[in-house]
Structure 1
Amino acid sequence: MKLVPFVIIVFLSSFVFFTACDQVNKEGFTGVRVIDNSYSPPVVRIYEGGKVRFFNAGNNPHNVIAVGEGWGSYEEIPKNDYLDVTFEKEGLYKYLCSFHASPEGDWGMVGSVVVGDIDYEDYSNFQKADAVESFSGEIRFVPTDYDTIQDAVNSSNPGDMILVSPGIYYEEVIVNVPSLTIRGVDRNKTIVDGEFERANGFLVAGVDGVVIENITARNALLNGFYWATVEGYRGSYLTAYNNGDYGIYAFDAVDGVLEHSYASGSPDAGFYIGQCYPCDAVINNVISENNGLGYSGTNSGGDLYIINSIFRNNKGGIAPNTLDSELLPPERESYIIGNLIENNNNLKAPAWDAQYISLGNGLVIAGGNNNYIKNNVIANHDVFGLVISAALDDNYWPAHGNIIEENLIINSGKADIAVSGVSNLRNCFEKNQFDTSIPPGIQLFSNCNFNILPMGSDLHGLWNLIARVINANTGNYEKGNWKEFDAPDPQPNMPIMKIVQNKDYNFEE
């Protein structure tokens, strides 16, 4: 008789799992943030039949209307509301805000939707094929030769380097040339400042092979450093702080490296890689603190490595997750190895509602599959050290096939390890050091060598999550103001620049 509930649970698990998998990519959308006065990102790529949601986060009147008026609406999108547009046919769809752009879409608040795998030219005089693999030999100096970084970008060719001297540059840099390297002379003194007026510090949209290194971005309304819809990117020795969404952000971008970088004071996440499969990306040797989340990755994975890094004092630590609000669900095949994840209980960290939900958790796999979690130290969390949970959005996304081994997980308030929600199957645990788990005996019964029972029927964590969601929806929770955090301590310069600084070299000679 005791087997009956177990059989029912397994049956329901299978039913929910196959129902969710059958709806992959049917309910998702790609988001474009509408702010004052730009679209972010200004170019997005979707599949035929895909949906774009234009969400108005600005204070000014905004709308979305096609160049040529073939789609969209002149009607103003109310603040905190959205307009959904579905694109059925392959092509390049340009659009504008009629309040803040020319009718032809040649200047002002404009954007593009790329539908399908097409070649296109947009916001650039270059084609995808113009990306190069080697340095051109041309160095462009800011501010000696060009007053602004944007002026230098606009004058550059693929393969050039832009070398930026110490100073505060009040601008948003739109990189529209492939294969550029933009390098600061001093990471801590070469600063792009958005003054809480401009959308991003650096935006690389639709051009491949762009490298940004040894520079700081702060006080942007959205993101410090942002790569969108690109193949090939690198961010090294970057500092991003007090930016209004993400610190260092890659979306719909593949073949990338984010390394030796620091992010703080972002209400969403310090680091983010999302909507890519396979991502072919590495986050290595970074520090993320005082953010909503240390790392977030929605619908990403496939040769995605998060390694040798520190995630501390955020509201929540690391959160790979699945949502219907982006393409390519579910999240899967990420490798989280050799990280220090500690004290992610920071009530004063900035956060949006979704990030508050992760408060007090070290590593949350929400609806993720076949991830590999190894050799991490996860310590001092008020709720769970590591929790594997299903994710509920438009669809129900179980978490299954995750391998958790050789981690040290200690000093957690509710449990060091937890698995929660119905239909989480084939998650296994091997050689972890920990004290408590929910359900009990998780490493014994869900061992990677012999998985006796699918430990996914406990609902403790799920009820905790639901309670957080209710509280988040009221907005009644403590959080800091992302605009008011102190500047971080000086961060290490990239080695070659440190050598040059010590020699007091004059770059402009």
Structure 2
Amino acid sequence: MARATPWTPTAVLRVGSYQGIPGQYSSIQAAIDAARPGDWVLIGPGDYHETGSRVPPGAAGDEKAGAAVLVTTPNIWLRGMDRNGVVLDGTKPGAPQCSSAPGDQNLGPLDSNGVPAGRNGLIVFKASGVSVENLTACNFLSGDLTPGDQIWFDGGGSTGMQKIGSWRGAYLSATSSFYGGENQNTQYGIYASNTFGPGLFTQVYANNMGDAGFYIGGCPNCNTILDHAHTQNSAEGYSGTNSGGHLIIQNSEFDHNYIGIVTNSQNNDDQPSPQSGHCPGIELGPTGTHSCWLVTHNSVHDNNNPNTPSNSEVSGVPVGVGVLIVGGRYDTVYDNDIHDNGAWGVLLVPEVDTEAWIPIAHCKGGVGLKGLSFCYYDDWGNEIENNTLSHNGFFGNQSNSDLAEISNLAYPGNCWHGNVDPSGKAINAKHFQLGRAGVTSAPPFLQLFPHSICGIPDAGAGLISILSLQVACNSEFLGPCPDNTSYANYPRPSGVQLMPLPPQPSMPDPCLGVPQNPWCPNNPTSQPPYPVPGSTVM
């Protein structure tokens, strides 16, 4: 009779010390290297200056800058014992925690040009089933090879392929205390690309990011939830290029950023394009339509900050917008509170991409000319419904409003209905909506027929219109626009201002689900289900 395969118990590898009990490792990377699938890595409170800059095998794009901590083993748990007390720190060894001093910054090894390459913080590289929980990352900065990413689930950046399945990030914080100009800057706080899920970010916070606090992109069917997230003082609160299919952004807050939530089609290395929230096949999404891409139950407010860190990737984006869809299709913005965004509450526009075409980008889903490095994606099939809007458009320029759309005639067009001011006294029906005067729009009457009907041909304001000129002037996409005039009153940067990292809720019980070990002596030997707030993803 064949002998059964011996069972190997799950190992719990401990880094640092916890409640006076030392672990086996002093380095996070050393414990990760020793972990096998199914193992846990627990990290005691401390300021961890991991000195390595590991480049993933077959690295492309931003991966070439390397990572302080690199995870390539699937099915492991990496958990801090205190979210605010376990810090993966991008500054030099011996520097104070997340130091703001220029001389304390570690910009990575020199590249072939003799220039610091930049660094990533923690990368989970093409490894499914990894969970990263209950810790903070800070001060990983960009350089000659870019990064500046704090925590990144990377399923194959710049390849157009998706090589990570299930993943989870919970109780995570990302920040930076240093800004040294565009070339010594942060990029993304908490980041997932080229994944196919199921994936989840929950109980996450980011600030001071030069691109986006949260990014989910490069996934035609992301199968991901962003839940209980909060981002501030970043160029973009959330950004997602070519992020489609099943993607839900829920129960979150985006405030005091340059712009709140942005999703876009683009002919770049986050392939495949376009950005489309269309459900796979004939499936219906959460609201009963064919859209599985949903922004719901969020607070999006006061995104008017011109003095966030920023980089060239976000140049040409308008300031003062709550939710911006750029060349996106079949996206749903439903039941959010959107207020005090000075330009527009919700804005839909086409994407005009003038980047040089690269081998994996062929303007799929758009209209383009490779010789002119031109690719155009129109916006259509989006539904904006049942949101509460107030005090948007207070910059006061012509066309600044709660709701706005630039698009060509398309079938299906975009549709707008049920959006009200805080009194909620608008006549509200699925196929016909008389908005109160307090809900403003450009073009006017955006919630009346035919714009209120979903699934029929429709168009917004034209490419040559007052609204289009205002968007161009705000974003300065076509070049500088005169400031402080009666037709161009938009805030301009006067100097980057960083904010401190506010303490964040830590995981209530960091021993939950962990096999019995000296730091968690009273746990059962079997692993119970892991509860995830606000989500059915386990």
What TM-score do the two structures reach when normalised by structure 1?
Answer: 0.68
| Residue 510 (structure 2) aligned to one of 481, 490, 497 | 497
**Aligned AA for 1:346?**
N
Q: What SS does the aligned partner of 1:433 have? A: coil
Q: What's the counterpart of residue 90 of structure 1? A: none
Instruction: Tell whether 2:37 aligns with 1:164.
Output: no
| Residue 215 (structure 1) aligned to one of 135, 139, 142 | 135
Q: What's the counterpart of residue 386 of structure 1? A: 346
**Aligned AA for 1:249?**
Y
Q: What's the counterpart of residue 175 of structure 2? A: 241
Q: In structure 2, how many angstroms separate the alpha carbons of the residues matched to 1:348 and 1:318?
A: 17
Q: What SS does the aligned partner of 1:231 have? A: coil
Q: What SS does the aligned partner of 2:473 have? A: helix
Instruction: Write the mapping of 1:30-429 to structure 2, written as runs, cut at 5 A.
Output: 137-143=10-16, 144-171=23-50, 172-195=68-91, 196-197=105-106, 198=108, 199-221=119-141, 222-229=148-155, 230-242=164-176, 244-255=186-197, 256-325=199-268, 326-333=270-277, 334-355=293-314, 357-393=317-353, 394-413=374-393, 414-423=400-409, 426-429=413-416
**Aligned AA for 2:467?**
G
Q: In structure 2, how many angstroms separate the alpha carbons of the residues matched to 1:316 and 1:479?
A: 17
Contact in 1 for aligned 2:294/2:331 (Cα 8 Å): yes
State the Cα deviation string for residues 406-444 of structure 1 (Å, max 9, x = none). Answer: 001221121100001434551011111152100101100
CA drift at 1:226: 0.3
Contact in 2 for aligned 1:363/1:387 (Cα 8 Å): yes
Distance change in 2, residues 1:419/1:265 (3 Å): same
Q: What's the counterpart of residue 501 of structure 2? A: 488
Q: What SS does the aligned partner of 2:30 have? A: helix
CA drift at 1:231: 1.6
For structure 1, which segment, 327-336 or 284-293, has the greater mean C-alpha deviation from structure 2 after superposition?
327-336
CA drift at 1:450: 8.3
Q: In structure 2, how many angstroms separate the alpha carbons of the residues matched to 1:135 and 1:161?
A: 14
CA drift at 1:224: 1.1
Contact in 2 for aligned 1:363/1:385 (Cα 8 Å): yes
State the Cα deviation string for residues 147-189 of structure 1 (Å, max 9, x = none). Answer: 1000000111011110000000002111121111110000001
For structure 1, which segment, 232-241 or 432-441, has the greater mean C-alpha deviation from structure 2 after superposition?
432-441
Instruction: Tell whether 2:437 aligns with 1:478.
Output: no
Q: What's the counterpart of residue 442 of structure 2? A: 438
Q: What SS does the aligned partner of 1:392 have? A: strand
For structure 1, which segment, 240-249 or 289-298, has the greater mean C-alpha deviation from structure 2 after superposition?
240-249
Q: In structure 2, how many angstroms separate the alpha carbons of the residues matched to 1:499 and 1:427?
A: 45
Q: What SS does the aligned partner of 1:497 have? A: coil
Distance change in 2, residues 1:498/1:465 (3 Å): farther
State the Cα deviation string for residues 311-333 of structure 1 (Å, max 9, x = none). Answer: 11000000010110131111111
RMSD over equivalenced CA pairs, Å: 2.6
State the Cα deviation string for residues 208-255 of structure 1 (Å, max 9, x = none). Answer: 111100000000011110011122111000000127100001111121
Identify the structure with the greater strand proportion.
1
Q: In structure 2, how many angstroms separate the alpha carbons of the residues matched to 1:213 and 1:354?
A: 28
Distance change in 2, residues 1:165/1:442 (3 Å): same
Contact in 2 for aligned 1:424/1:456 (Cα 8 Å): no
| Residue 455 (structure 1) aligned to one of 460, 463, 473 | 460
Distance change in 2, residues 1:168/1:474 (3 Å): farther
Q: In structure 1, how many angstroms separate the alpha carbons of the residues matched to 2:87 and 2:409?
A: 48
**Aligned AA for 2:416?**
F
Q: What SS does the aligned partner of 2:447 have? A: helix
Q: What SS does the aligned partner of 1:465 have? A: helix
> Identity of paired residues, percent?
31
**Aligned AA for 1:167?**
G
Contact in 2 for aligned 1:408/1:432 (Cα 8 Å): yes
Q: What's the counterpart of residue 91 of structure 1? A: none
Distance change in 2, residues 1:424/1:170 (3 Å): farther
Distance change in 2, residues 1:480/1:155 (3 Å): farther
Contact in 1 for aligned 2:318/2:475 (Cα 8 Å): no
Distance change in 2, residues 1:495/1:136 (3 Å): farther
**Aligned AA for 1:370?**
Y
CA drift at 1:485: 2.6
Contact in 2 for aligned 1:306/1:336 (Cα 8 Å): yes
Distance change in 2, residues 1:200/1:453 (3 Å): closer
Distance change in 2, residues 1:450/1:402 (3 Å): closer
Distance change in 2, residues 1:479/1:293 (3 Å): farther
Contact in 2 for aligned 1:136/1:158 (Cα 8 Å): no
Q: In structure 2, how many angstroms separate the alpha carbons of the residues matched to 1:472 and 1:367?
A: 17
Q: What SS does the aligned partner of 1:317 have? A: strand
Q: In structure 1, how many angstroms separate the alpha carbons of the residues matched to 2:165 and 2:35?
A: 19
What TM-score do the two structures reach when normalised by structure 2?
Answer: 0.65
**Aligned AA for 1:336?**
V
Contact in 1 for aligned 2:140/2:149 (Cα 8 Å): yes
Q: Which runs of 5+ in 2 are unaligned?
A: 1-6, 17-22, 51-67, 92-104, 109-118, 142-147, 156-163, 177-184, 278-292, 354-373, 394-399, 422-438, 484-491, 523-538
Q: In structure 2, how many angstroms separate the alpha carbons of the residues matched to 1:427 and 1:471?
A: 24
Q: In structure 2, how many angstroms separate the alpha carbons of the residues matched to 1:375 and 1:402?
A: 14
State the Cα deviation string for residues 107-162 of structure 1 (Å, max 9, x = none). Answer: xxxxxxxxxxxxxxxxxxxxxxxxxxx99521100022111000000111011110
